């Protein structure tokens, strides 16, 4: 029977799980579909700058993998991941203050899969997860599949407001604390050192694991790196990392750094999901790291992203009307804009698309559904000229709709 996407014949006739029918498509993917139309300046997606992908280096790694590891790189491999890559990752984590061995490391198909494995392993319908408000939409999507509930702490410029956390733990007994501690998606905010220590203390007091989802920590282009939650909290913390934002998202290689006994549980879940992440890509990343290609590449992307962030901030200062505020991140990909309370970023988006500029409106990032007046901008993916032009158009749009 041919699939009729217009009339949803199969969706109605076949007995799909209500879990799937009830799932919402990612709003970001929907906005990306619109914003990838020709001529639209895309400040919406979470995409790194494609012109900075280290193509030449990756080409060398590819040839080296074939030459050195030949058939093994094309074979099935361990669910935990390629040993050499896990050892390299553990060495780097130890160097950053989280003493780790390969036995703490599980390679995943991006950090997104790590979130999904955690949700599967921990969440029964109705279980609470404590998050920041707002938080990463992809995590909410993964957790929603398992019918999680949320209790969320507000944020200020130092990250999650810890004073709110203990009462929420007492009230809801969350199974997990989920945070994006560095250059958070969506706000660009980084949790301060003091707050990190306080969060670890609370997690330890109530025996709740902290999931520190940290794709952006290495992309710091200003200020000093802060100790990671894992280096402060040790076994209280499951750290999620990824090569998506620092090498290539298409490679789909991320990892978890977790206490060994828990990792054995995740290994079983990973086996059910996809047996293992792509062997060849793991070997490629290993070559990239072991040949010392990551450090110069990081310098390169940090320099470029800083320049683009500055262009965006300078243009916002010149063109955004009074009453609009924004964050000024010292790294990562995103900044966060708040319009006056009475304005709706969602309602303004079609008008922005008419003006050929796209952003992601903020409401879906809030587990509790507020934030109508907020939006997220990516300063890494567009060219400086397009950032300038896009922000000018948004400035005019906001002024006209104040
Ligand atoms: C906070 C956060 N976690 C996880 C992911 C997913 O990353 P990956 O490409 O490694 O699956 C993203 C991507 O935007 C993210 O911002």
Name which of 362, 380, 360 is nearest 245 in CA terms: 380
Q: Decide whether any atom of ligand 1 lies within 6 Å of the 111 Cβ.
A: yes
User: Sheet containing 128-133: which strands, arranged edge to edge?
Assistant: 105-108, 254-257, 237-242, 210-213, 176-179, 128-133, 149-156, 159-160
Name which of 348, 310, 344 is nearest 329 in CA terms: 310
CB 115 within 8 A of CB 176: no
Q: Cα of 254 to ligand 1 centre, how many Å?
A: 9
pLDDT tens digit string along 273-289? 999 999 999 999 999 99
What pLDDT is stored for residue 64 in this prediction? 98
pLDDT tens digit string along 108-162? 999 999 999 999 999 999 999 999 999 999 999 999 999 999 999 999 999 999 9
Q: Decide whether any atom of ligand 1 lies within 6 Å of the 213 Cβ.
A: yes
Name which of 401, 334, 343, 361 is nearest 46 in CA terms: 334
Nearest atom in ligand 1 to the alpha carbon of residue 254 is: 10
User: Mean pLDDT throughout 231-235?
Assistant: 97
CA-proximal residue: ligand 1, atom 6 (nearest): 112
pTM for the model: 0.95
164: helix, strand or coil: helix
Q: Cα of 222 to ligand 1 centre, how many Å?
A: 22
Q: Cα of 359 to ligand 1 centre, how many Å?
A: 18
- Angle at CA 390, nearest 5°, toward 386 and 392? 120
User: Mean pLDDT throughout 367-377?
Assistant: 94
Q: For residue 2, is pLDDT > 50?
A: no
Contacts of 151 (CB under 8 A, 6+ apart): 128, 129, 130, 131, 168, 171, 172, 174
pLDDT tens digit string along 245-264? 999 999 999 999 999 999 99
Percent of the residues in the chain that have a pLDDT greater than 90, as a whole number: 88
Q: Decide whether any atom of ligand 1 lies within 6 Å of the 215 Cβ.
A: yes
Q: Decide whether any atom of ligand 1 lies within 6 Å of the 289 Cβ.
A: no
Higher pLDDT, 16 or 163: 163
Name which of 346, 381, 291, 298 is nearest 36 in CA terms: 381
Q: Decide whether any atom of ligand 1 lies within 6 Å of the 178 Cβ.
A: no
CATH of 55-290, one of 3.40.640.10, 3.40.50.1580, 2.60.40.10, 3.40.50.300: 3.40.640.10
pLDDT tens digit string along 59-88? 999 999 999 998 999 999 999 999 999 999
CATH topology of domain 10-54+296-400: 3.90.1150
What are the residue boundaries of the structural domains of the chain, listed by start?
Answer: 10-54+296-400, 55-290
Q: Cα of 3 to ligand 1 centre, how many Å?
A: 32
User: Mean pLDDT throughout 287-315?
Assistant: 98
For 268, other C-beta atoms within 10 Å of its C-beta total: 13
User: Measured between alpha carbons, how far is 294 from 289 in angstroms, rounded to an integer?
Assistant: 6
If 0-12 CB within 10 Å is exposed, 13-18 middle and 19+ buried, where does residue 14 land? exposed
User: Measured between alpha carbons, how far is 218 from 331 in angstroms, rounded to an integer?
Assistant: 8
What pLDDT is stored for residue 5 in this prediction? 57
pLDDT tens digit string along 5-61? 567 788 788 888 888 877 777 777 777 777 777 889 999 988 898 999 999 999 999
Percent of the residues in the chain that have a pLDDT greater than 70, as a whole number: 99
Q: Cα of 91 to ligand 1 centre, how many Å?
A: 23
């Amino acid at each position: 029977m041919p699939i009729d996407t217009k009339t949803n014949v199969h969706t109605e006739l076949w007995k799909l799980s209500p879990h799937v029918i009830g799932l919402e498509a990612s709003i970001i993917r929907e906005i990306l579909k619109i914003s990838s139309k020709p001529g639209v300046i895309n400040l919406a997606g979470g995409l790194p700058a494609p012109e900075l992908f280290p193509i030449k280096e990756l080409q060398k790694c590819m040839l080296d993998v074939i030459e050195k590891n030949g058939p093994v790189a094309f074979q099935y491999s361990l669910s935990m991941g390629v040993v050499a890559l896990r050892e390299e990752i553990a060495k780097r984590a130890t160097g950053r203050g989280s003493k780790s061995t390969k036995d703490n490391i599980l390679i995943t198909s991006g950090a997104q899969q790590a979130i999904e494995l955690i949700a599967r392993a921990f969440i029964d319908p109705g279980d609470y997860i404590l998050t920041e408000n707002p938080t990463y939409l992809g995590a909410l999507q993964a957790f929603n599949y398992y019918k999680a509930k949320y209790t969320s702490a507000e944020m200020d410029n130092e990250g999650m407001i810890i004073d709110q956390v203990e009462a929420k733990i007492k009230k809801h007994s969350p199974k997990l604390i989920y945070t994006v501690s560095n250059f958070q998606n969506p706000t660009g905010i980084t949790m301060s050192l003091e707050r990190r220590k306080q969060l670890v203390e609370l997690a330890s007091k109530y025996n709740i694991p902290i999931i520190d989802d940290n794709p952006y920590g290495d992309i710091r282009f200003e200020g000093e790196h802060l100790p990671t939650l894992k280096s402060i909290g040790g076994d209280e913390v499951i750290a999620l990392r990824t090569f998506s934002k620092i090498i290539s998202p298409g490679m789909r290689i991320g990892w978890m750094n977790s206490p060994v006994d828990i990792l054995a549980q995740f290994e079983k879940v990973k086996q059910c999901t996809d047996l293992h992440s792509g062997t060849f890509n793991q070997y490629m990343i290993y070559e990239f790291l072991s040949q010392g290609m990551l450090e110069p590449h990081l310098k390169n992307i940090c320099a470029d992203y800083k320049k683009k962030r500055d262009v965006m901030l300078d243009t916002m200062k010149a063109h955004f009307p009074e009453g609009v505020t924004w964050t000024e991140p010292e790294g990562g990909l995103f900044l966060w804009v708040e319009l006056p309370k009475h304005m709706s970023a969602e309602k303004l988006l079609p008008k922005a698309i008419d003006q050929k500029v796209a952003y992601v409106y903020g409401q879906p990032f809030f587990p509790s559904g507020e934030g109508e007046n907020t939006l997220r901008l990516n300063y890494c993916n567009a060219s400086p000229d397009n950032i300038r032009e896009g922000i000018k158009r948004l400035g005019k749009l906001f002024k006209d709709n104040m």
